[in-house]
Copies of this chain bind each other. A is one copy, B any other.
Amino acid sequence: MQEILTQVRERVPLTHCITNRVTINDCANVLLACGATPTMAGAEQEVEEIVSIADALVLNLGNLHDSAIRAMRRAGRRANELGIPVVLDPVGVGASHYRAQAAHQLMEEIHFAVIRGNASEIRVAGGGIGAARGVDASAQDAVTADSLERDIAFMRAFSARSGAVIAVSGVTDLVSDDRRTALIRGGHPMLSRVTGTGCMLSAMTGAFCGAAPDRIFEAAAAACAAMDVAGERAFAKTQAVQGGTGSFRMYLMDEISLMNETILAGGMNIEIRYA
């Protein structure tokens, strides 16, 4: 599935993100780095027109406001009409009733190609009970060896119910539709010491889906794998210069912009399990 990276670079999918102000710059830059083109338009007056020429739409619930919800609903419905894949990142959905309500409204009105978040967010979005504190995943929601079978079953059921590919980031990333699940190992804990790496992954997932709209499962898995490999390589560079989170953040962007099929195929660790 590493060839999807090459397709992103060849097809340059216009990826429309309606996203939070905390990491909006990182999302635009990661889209450029992976070979896509960003548009971050968020005014409800223009999102339908803009999404109409896009190849993918990404809705991110971080730092949510009413005006963003209105824009997301309009853009999402239009994208569905036009067959443009839509990615949902339910950032911090367990942190407030406001976000939970917004997430559920969006999930009722819009068909998502991919729903991607950390373990706590996906549990809440999927109707389970999460233990999130703020926007980070709770340790008790983390995917562990013990919980793996149960987690996979939960994700497949959520996928069957929603029609979306479900992606969970963690020590082992899981990407699942209703019958197959990719287990992606790798990445680095430092990815959670920089804000926005989850948002960036959702943006990239949109770009990968835009470049391969008939292979959503593979696109979501390839985006996760690319972030993991970039994270490992960025950490190695950071360690070589005895840097901290500032250096890591820069090297992460570097590694995504420098990545190609060979690097991705050589670095990624994906196991696929079937039902």
Give A residues with C-beta under 8 Å from B: 14, 20-26, 28-29, 32-33, 37-43, 45-46, 49-50, 53-54, 62-67, 92, 95-99, 133-136, 193-196, 242-247, 249-258
Contacts and interface: CB of A to CB of B under 8 A. Distances in A.
Identical subunits present: 3
Name the residue in A26, A65, A255 with the highest tally of chain B Cβ atoms < 10 Å from its Cβ: A65
A253 B244 contact: yes
Contact of A25 (B14, B23, B39, B135): B23
Contact of A22 (B14, B25, B46, B249): B25
B133 A37 contact: yes
A39 B244 contact: no
A25 B196 contact: yes
Contacts of A20: 40
Contacts of A97: 46, 49
B193 A134 contact: no
A46 B250 contact: no
